[in-house]
Each structure stands twice: as structure tokens, then as C-alpha cells.
Amino acid sequence: MEYTNLGRTGLTVSRICLGTMNFGPFTTEPDSHAIMDSAHEAGINFFDTANVYGRSAGRGRTEEIVGTWFAQGGGRRERTVLATKLYNPMGEWPNESKLSALHIRQALDASLRRLQTDYIDLYQFHHIDRTSSWDEVWQAIEVAVAQGKILYTGSSNFAGWHIAQAQAAAADRRYLGLVSEQSIYNLMERTVELEVLPAAQHYGLGILPWSPLNGGLLGGAVRKEGDRTRRTAPSSQAALERSRPQIEQYEALADELSTPPGDLALAWLLHQPAVTAPIVGPRISEQLDSAIRAVDVTLDDKALSRLDEIFPGHKTAPEDYAW
């Protein structure tokens, strides 16, 4: 496994981040524990979750599964850089969502209980809150840092100007501010190249791409069509039909490079500026193996150019849409 610093911090994290969203709804607790053990064995020390994960199994269930894994001891918590998130509703009452000082306090304490730990390494805002001022948000975070409950703060799904707002407010308070941004980013979805990536690079934030395989479309979707044991959702099938020519070219290139499509998609992200670690969310252990292999894939300029031809990206704004 390779390691790097998370943005401008001194925190060392693996180039692959283990996403846990499937734990609970699709992956049993024992299987989830086995995947986390395998991640540690492979050198992955960076795990991502969220308080709302669990959905059909109940909001908070995923954090509980991670917590019972930590409770087994054996250095599991000490060797893990733990990231979780808040913002989404955790109940039906007022103040059980978003980023008010009250909700930050309550959500943080609830996550700590479920995770069976006394601190979170990276506490992330799952979405921008247009009703809470940054002074309110940062004051609440500073209190939590002083209490030793969190170490670093990150964002998720922010626009470039949201990052700028957050960092300006943090600078006024002489506070570190955001150290990472978690965005959807993959070969097929490259909108963040317009402004989010440039903002992250300017402010020293590490980018944590989610959905690196774009819902499986970049994981060999065409070649897997003949597998009758696989169930494909109608929405996924429709997305495949819209992008079939590109995906067929992509899978042909993967064959030329002797690299499985999923490995290629992750390797491409690892070659992009500002990217710290793509977030992979395996349902089974075998899906984690692909992510681990991708770290060792080196793409030359010819391969990178060909991928840009198949899936055109964006130039930095405003050059992308102005003279």
C-alpha cells in the first residue's frame, strides 16, 4: 500500500479509503468485520462512514458495525484514521439535521457512542448548510477540538465557492479550517474539475472521490451483461445504454492495457492532481482486492490521453466556458 498526507496536514493516510456505506444494508456485520480486517492486512488505514449510513437497516447502523469491530481491540481503532459525517436528518424533530451548533454537538456525541471511540480523526460536513453561518459552525467545531473529540474537519459535496467561504471564515478565526473535500469524481463525472479541484489545490485540501466506478459502469458493465446471476437495476441499465459507445471503448482500452476496468478507473483517479484517496465501498471482500491492485497500476501519458479522449474532462473555469 502507498501512503500520502491528507491535504496540507501531517496526517498520513492510505491511497485507498475504505467506504462503509454497504455495511448493514447489504453486508452483514460478520462480513463487514472481515472486510475491515482485510483492509488493515492490506495496509489500508483510512476508513470513511457517516452517521446516516444504514438506511434500510436503520440510520446509524453502519457506525454501530464499525464500533463493534473497534471493540474487538487488537489495535483496530489505533491503526485506523476514522472519518465520519453529519448533516442529514437523524430523526424527525427540529435540530436533528444540518450544521447548527446544537446539532453538531448532539450528532458528534451520538456518533462517538455508536463508533465506541472517544474521538474522530476527520469530521466531515456531508452537505453545505445554507442556514447556519460559518462563525456558528466553526465555533462549535473549535469547542469539539478543544474537548479532544475531533482532530480535523472536512467537507463533502461542496462547491468551489463554498470551500472559499469556509476557509475565509476559518482564517478570520485563525483556525485550520477544512482539510479535505469528498466529491463525486470519476472518468464519467468530472464536473469538479471546473472549480472544486482548483479550490482544493489552492487551499491545500485533499480530494476524496466517491463513486469512483460511477455506480459500477466503469467496473466492466458491458462485459458483465452476459452474467445472468447479476441483477441490474433499471436505472443502471438505462445509464449503460446512454453511455454504451464510450464504455465499450473504455473496456477495449482496459484489455489493451491488460488491466481490469475497475482497476483502471481507480488508477486514473490516483493520477489526478489533489486526489488523496478514492473511496471504495465493497459489499464483498473480492471487491476490495480490485482497489488494492489499482495502487500498483501506472498509466503513461498515452494511456491518460486516450482516457481523456473517451471521457472528455473540463478545463479550469472560466476557460472551460469562456474565451
Contact 256, 229 (CB under 8 A): no
Contact 189, 217 (CB under 8 A): no
Q: What cell numbers appear for 282 in the block?
A: 465493497
Helices 261-270 and 285-294, packing angle to 10 deg: 50
CA–CA separation, 51 vs 56, rounded Å? 14
Is 119 buried (19+), middle (13-18) or exposed (0-12) by CB count in 10 A? middle
Of these residues, 53, 152, 185, 250, which one is catalytic?
Answer: 53
Strands 178-184 and 206-210 come out as parallel
Is 187 buried (19+), middle (13-18) or exposed (0-12) by CB count in 10 A? buried
Q: What is the DSSP letter of 232?
A: -
53 belongs to the catalytic site: yes
Q: Could you give the residue numbers annotated as active site?
A: 53
